[in-house]
Structure 1
Amino acid sequence: MAEQIARLDQGAWAAPGVVETVHPGVHRVPLPLPDDGLHAVNVYLLEGLAEDGRLVMIDGGWAVPEAREALEAGLAGIGRELGEISHILVTHIHRDHYTHAVELRRLLGSRVYLGAGERPGLELLHQLGSDEPAGSLDVLRRAGADELADRIGKMDHGGYDPEVWEAPDRWLGAGNVGFGAGELKVVPTPGHTKGHVVFLDERRGLLFAGDHVLPHITPSIGFELAEAGGRPLADYLDSLRLMTRYADTRLLPAHGPVADSAHTRVAELLAHHDDRLARSLAALGDEALDAHAVARRLAWTRRAVPFGELSAFNQMLAINETAAHLDVLVLEGLATVAHVVGVDRYCRVR
């Protein structure tokens, strides 16, 4: 998250009405995210995979009227129509990726696919009847930030509409998913969420990376609807390293412009987290501190914004990321953690 809340150099990538053919038969369309700092989410329209000549779409966008209008305009730009979308593959469960896919299914009869690791989060969302990030709020409480957790819990998180949070037609695990004329490799990449997946088009040398590998920013870690648990940063770092086991590809991200080399950006993200781990260890000093206290000692975004100047939502992301880094330091034997009255307190190992 360290850079997620930085202002992006929007350039042309997020401009409304854009349709970019990034490879023959592969088209990028940015859909607007009203009142969101990321401004837009890229969806990709793929020709040549479905045997009936229809379109496969990667990610769905956020279920708002502006997204539907932008998608229809993008389709018109390549001489296609909304009704030609037959399959929608979603990288993860966040509303700016999933909810519009479900609406399009209701409208068009398209099939929706989602990583199997997102199932617990979706089920919990229905149990709670709310799309608040329950897992992230639990991390806040274990980080000693009860007051912030209470404030975040009372916020409007976009409104819970069970119709746009319906289950997918198919839960995806690792392997290939085919559509008659072609297929994509599904690669689970937990970290940003537990069930995040990327889609690898090995024939065309393209990685549809969702929020796993972003060209300008670092994704938030462990931003969950599901219950908290595990070691999301350790999972994320492993998922980044996993990308280097495949041949290098062009990077087609969910936010930001297309980049020439996925491997180059993966190396940058790994170096970034090495730096944040070192800074988190230094911030511990000689005291026993919770993640909230450590986060307050760190600077945030490329502009080195003090923690106290962040919005409540971005303070939540900062604390979640700090806890994730501290947990990795524990795994590496550089820190210890003790659970004291429901709060995790970390100490540097001397």
Structure 2
Amino acid sequence: MIDRSAWAEPGVETLHPGVHRIPLPLPSDALRAVNVYVLEDLAEDDGLLLVDSGWATPEARRALEEGLAAIGRDLTEIRDILVTHVHRDHYTHAVELRRSLGCRVHLGAGERRGLELLNERRGGLSFLLRTLCQAGATALAEEVRPLYPDDYDPRDWAAPDHWLGEETLRFPGGGLRVVPTPGHTRGHVVYLDERRGLMFSGDHVLPHITPSVGFEPADPGGRPLADFLDSLHLMTRYADARLLPAHGPVTDSVHARVTELLAHHEDRLRATLTALGDGANDAFGVARGLTWTRREVPFGDLDAVNRMLAVNETVAHLDVLVLRGRTTVETADGTHRYARVR
């Protein structure tokens, strides 16, 4: 049997000469770890470039120090950190490392509004809880609210040195193409090393799971899943590359996994339409009629956080069905009500 969690074990995996993967632990997170990629041959002064940084915890910093020591390097050699998106497990350690080491932090420009909301203390769960209420899941919103204490620290959410657009970053040792991939968050980007055929995919393309969409402080704009599907299709316009994800093991083909993810979402769209036709008319009711995860767990058997994610995913699928003309939506008493188009 394949051990799907082996990738998260501490240590260093050398993927290509000068390219290493170091998994950093996550506190109380089902994902277990986040992959930080170390590139030795791009940055100036023979320094290091990181893709993603981890969650700002003492354990993550220690794991990064130990991983770098295993390849004969040191934290002080970090020159640039390229972050794929603004989620805590990708961004906050970069801000902390910049504060102590003076390295530069790069982040997709689409994350600007989410970061502003966090710094205005208007981010966090507010938009997600509003989405739950509009989905007919007010009681679930109240159940979830106390699970996310207000632990905001402005030092975690300082702005990056460089807001990234669709561009190629030039370093002394070569370039990395920045490809905006909205969906998981509005400003998510992936980094393509075309010379070596490597895609640093963040949470956009993951080998074992499909990421949540629109899970961010800012309003994702009403079509996060449609954006995500468009961003998946975009990946096939580039030459196939080795998949270097933020969570999970490295695999051989971005295109192969993108094909699987697109098929999965088409299956979910069909199942969502069927559940809507079975009598439910809001996202909460539709979500309860579906099963979840690879193990097809009934909605009622999920914990509160995963029920929240399930309802939000159902909202995203219903909104794609509206965009495709398969359903209509109206708002009554603050709840979005959907109907199949006959």
The residue aligned with 1:122 is 115
Tell me the residue number matched to 1:99: 92
Partner of 1:293: 285
For 2:276, which of 281, 284, 309 is the aligned residue? Answer: 284
- The 5 A counterparts of 1:95-174 are 95-128=88-121, 132-157=124-149, 159-174=151-166
Mapping of residues 1-350 of structure 1, within 5 Å = 9-16=3-10, 18-128=11-121, 132-157=124-149, 159-285=151-277, 287=279, 289-350=281-342
Aligned residue identity for 1:304: E
Kept in 1, the 8 Å contact 2:280–2:286? The answer is no
- Consecutive unaligned residues of structure 2, counting only runs of 5 or more, are none
Letter in 2 for 1:12: A
Distance (Å, rounded) in 1 between the aligned partners of 2:139 and 2:6? 40
Secondary structure in structure 2 of the residue aligned to 1:87: strand
Aligned to 1:3: none
Q: Shift of residue 152 of structure 1? A: 2.2
8 Å CA contact 2:98, 2:105 repeated in 1: yes
Q: Is the 8 A contact 1:175 1:185 kept in 2?
A: yes
Provide the rounded CA distance (Å) in 1 between the counterparts of 2:76 and 2:117. 32
RMSD: 1.4
- The alpha-carbon deviation at position 145 of structure 1 amounts to 1.3
In structure 2, what is the Cα distance between the partners aligned to 1:42 and 1:153? 29
Q: Using the alignment, how far apart are the partners of 1:136 and 1:123 within structure 2?
A: 17
In the comparison of the two structures, how many residue pairs are matched? 341
AA matched with 1:88: I
| TM-score, structure 2 as length reference | 0.97
Give the conservation status (yes or no) of the 8 Å contact 2:121–2:152.
no
Letter aligned with residue 113 of structure 2 = P
Structure 2 CA distance for aligned equivalents of residues 150 and 194 of structure 1: 26
In the superposition, the TM-score normalised over structure 1's length comes to 0.94
Give the CA deviation at 1:151.
2.8
SS at the partner of 2:214? coil
| Partner Cα separation in structure 2 for residue 153 and residue 61 of structure 1 | 25
Cα distance in structure 1, aligned partners of 2:32 and 2:150: 16
Deviations 1:107-158 (A, max 9, x none): 10010011111111111112126x6233322211211112222232322357
Which deviates further from its counterpart, 96-105 or 228-237? 228-237
Q: Is the 8 A contact 1:27 1:45 kept in 2?
A: yes
SS of 2:92's partner is helix
Q: Distance in 1 between matches of 2:34 and 2:104?
A: 20
Q: Is this contact kept in 2: 1:22–1:28, CA < 8 A?
A: yes
Aligned mates of 1:94, 1:321 — CA distance in 2: 18
Q: Which is worse superposed, 209-218 or 176-185?
A: 176-185
Task: Return the alpha-carbon distance in structure 2 between the equivalents of residues 202 and 126 of structure 1.
Answer: 36
Q: Counterpart of 2:6 in 1: which secondary structure? A: coil
How far off its partner does 1:98 sit? 0.5
> After superposition, what is the alpha-carbon deviation per residue over 1:215-256, rounded to whole angstroms, capped at 9, x for unaligned?
011111111111243200100000000000000000000000
**Which 10-residue stretch deviates more, 195-204 or 143-152?**
143-152
Q: Given residue 37 of structure 1, which amino acid in structure 2 is its aligned partner?
A: A
Aligned equivalents of 1:137 and 1:171: distance in 2?
28
Q: Which amino acid aligns with 1:55?
A: L
After superposition, the Cα gap between the structure-2 partners of 1:225 and 1:183, relative to the gap in structure 1 and judged at 3 Å, is same
Structure number with greater CO (CA < 8 Å, separation at least 6) is: 1
SS of corresponding position for 1:177: strand
Alignment check: 8 A CA contact 1:135 1:226 kept: yes
User: Structure 1: any 5+ residue segments left out of the alignment?
Assistant: 1-7
